Amino acid sequence: MKYSGILSTIWLITVSLCVELDLDDLDSVCEAASSVVWGELNYYEGFKYGGTVGMFSTPYYWWHAGEAFGGLVDYYAFCQKGNDTFEKFLIDGMFHQAGEDYNYIPSNQSLTEGNDDQGVWGMAIMEAAERNISQPSKDHSWISLTQAVYNTMNARWDDAHCGGGLRWQIFTWNSGYDYKNTISNGLLFHLAARLARYLDNETYVETAERVWNWMHDVGFYNRDGDDLTIFDGAKIGDNCSDVTTLKWSYSYGVFLSGCAYLYNYTEDATWKERALEIIHVAQNYFVASGYMSEATCAPSNRCNNDQRSFRSLYSRCLGVTTVLIPETKEVLNDYLTKSAEGAAQSCSGGSDGVTCGEDWSYSGWDGVYGLGEQMSALEVILANVQTEFSAPLSVQSGGNNASDSEAGLNTQDHTNTKQLDITSKDKAGAGVLTAVVLAIILGGSIWMIL
Ligand SMILES: *[C@@H]1O[C@H](CO)[C@@H](O)[C@H](O)[C@H]1NC(C)=O
Ligand SMILES: *[C@@H]1O[C@H](CO)[C@@H](O)[C@H](O)[C@H]1NC(C)=O
Ligand SMILES: *[C@@H]1O[C@H](CO)[C@@H](O)[C@H](O)[C@H]1NC(C)=O
Ligand SMILES: *[C@@H]1O[C@H](CO)[C@@H](O)[C@H](O)[C@H]1NC(C)=O
Ligand SMILES: *[C@@H]1O[C@H](CO)[C@@H](O)[C@H](O)[C@H]1NC(C)=O
Ligand SMILES: *[C@@H]1O[C@H](CO)[C@@H](O)[C@H](O)[C@H]1NC(C)=O
Ligand SMILES: *[C@@H]1O[C@H](CO)[C@@H](O)[C@H](O)[C@H]1NC(C)=O
């Protein structure tokens, strides 16, 4: 959806009038971030009459809400600290979606939720723990909720196919159940790394190592010199031997920052080397004219709603990496500052004047809009304000210690076979939806090959 050149020119003038981003000045950063957040919350259902708390408007899925809340927690920590109204909005939204069993598998999302969706919510609530957001209830802390996500995901580890790994889907009826994907496994790795550091518990390091080694055995990443290239996944039918080699920024993000948490916690130099190898590929691939770009689909304008949001998680992960491995700050500095400046100047569109665009190298707003554009702009801006003073908390540095290593394990949701009372019509609907998404991904990749 591109507007005409004349409109773009008008937007360009608006930009120079209203967006001044000085990344060295926190007030300036927060001013830019706050207008982006304002645009983002236009999509929030929870403020609307009869809307569901914790959800964003269609066509955005449940997982997008988890993605959004993670960034909003950071926005709170950097720009709204002490604003009880804002904190309450975060707590209500995130806790409302915890589901009946407090494991982020709400039964009414069982036609859409995969391991990756649950894991992205896990990132948000772990962020809440690490940023000292007030606890949601006396029985549940953010850290115990994260453990429930971790435990239920980890229990789905499937040795029966491809030598291990998580499948994409949790539920048998969703298509993609026969696919093992990198992002689901990456999120298990990522959450394990964060829990290890937060709780000072080596057992989680062992899980992270198991995932990392399996990813290698199955060929989901490839190592060549200083490069570590991460691919999308494979079907279990032929024992995961036919790897889909598409590259997505958020997969790089969750593995990279997972390595950074592990390095920061264990001080084992191997994790730092791995982090640097991932950065080497990431910042040379996810880039266009020096600005961060979802390179697998953006140049051909083929990114779907999901893909248009990936840079938000990617940016969040890059930001925290610069804190956990301080020497990566310099390596990532130009990439992050240029991208943030490009993103900020793109946030000048739409009828509200705070709508962000997709192409950050474009002067002004490029006419593309959505929740993904808002989230990505917000997080790349915030990735630049991280310092050692904003290092994620751990119990040792004062984080809440109400952990529960058994959380989630008493429920049935961690099995792959939980039967819910849904009609076959619903099942068919879910299948068609996933098929459409797959068709778009595959269509996109075929187009790229041509
Ligand atoms: C606190 O957050 C609310 C939104 O939840 C916002 O309306 C208000 O302006 C914020 N207060 C300050 C002082 O920024
Ligand atoms: C789904 O379930 C949650 C509770 O887990 C509830 O708050 C929400 O209203 C339900 N509906 C939707 C559309 O999320
Ligand atoms: C399936 O793949 C896994 C991981 O690469 C490997 O360890 C296992 O030996 C393979 N099994 C068969 C039957 O080829
Ligand atoms: C871990 O992160 C903290 C906070 O940024 C930093 O001061 C410390 O040097 C890091 N540890 C290592 C081993 O790099
Ligand atoms: C976390 O927040 C509480 C108030 O809710 C405060 O008392 C405590 O000092 C904070 N801890 C850290 C480490 O910032
Ligand atoms: C957990 O934190 C509370 C409050 O900060 C403290 O009183 C308690 O001793 C801690 N428990 C453990 C096991 O560290
Ligand atoms: C460490 O975590 C594991 C896995 O959740 C748990 O079984 C174990 O009890 C924990 N160890 C400690 C000392 O808390």
pLDDT digits (tens, 9 = 90+) for 435-450: 434 344 433 343 333 2
Indicate if ligand 3 lies below 6 Å from the C-beta of 162: yes
pLDDT recorded at residue 413? 53
Tell me, using a 6 A CB cutoff, whether residue 134 lines ligand 2. no
What atom in ligand 1 is closest to the CA of residue 84? Answer: 1
For residue 397, give the ligand 5 atom closest to its CA. Answer: 13
Q: Where are the domains of the chain?
A: 4-433
The SS3 assignment for 56 reads: strand
Of all protein residues, the one whose alpha carbon is nearest to atom 12 of ligand 3 is: 239
Instruction: Write down the pLDDT at residue 20.
Output: 72
User: What's the fold here for domain 4-433?
Assistant: Glycosyltransferase (1.50.10)
What's the whole-model pTM score? 0.91
pLDDT value at position 389?
81
pLDDT computed for residue 19 by the predictor:
53
pLDDT number for residue 213: 98
Give the Cα separation of 321 and 126 in Å (integer).
Answer: 16
Of 48, 52, 117, the residue with max ligand 2 atoms within 8 A of its CB, to mutate for a pocket test, comes to 52
Q: Which of 215, 13, 49, 182 is nearest to 114 (CA)?
A: 182
Determine whether the shortest distance from the Cβ of 96 to ligand 2 is under 6 A. Answer: yes
Q: Which residue, 316, 299, 298, is CA-closest to 307? A: 298
Distance 85 CA to ligand 1 centre (A): 7
Q: What is the pLDDT of residue 412?
A: 62
CB 331 within 8 A of CB 325: no
Specify the pLDDT at position 388: 79
What residues of the chain score a pLDDT lower than 70? 1-19, 412-450
Q: Cis before residue 326, ω within 30 degrees of 0?
A: no
* Ligand that lies nearest to the alpha carbon of residue 76, given by its number in the listed order: 1
Cα–Cα dist 2/38, whole Å: 23
115-169 pLDDT, tens digit per residue, is: 999 999 999 999 999 999 999 999 999 999 999 999 999 999 999 999 999 999 9
**Does the C-beta of 201 come closer than 6 Å to ligand 7?**
yes
Among protein residues, the one with the nearest Cα to ligand 5's atom 10 is 132
Ligand 4 centroid distance, CA of 247 (Å): 29
pLDDT score, position 273: 98
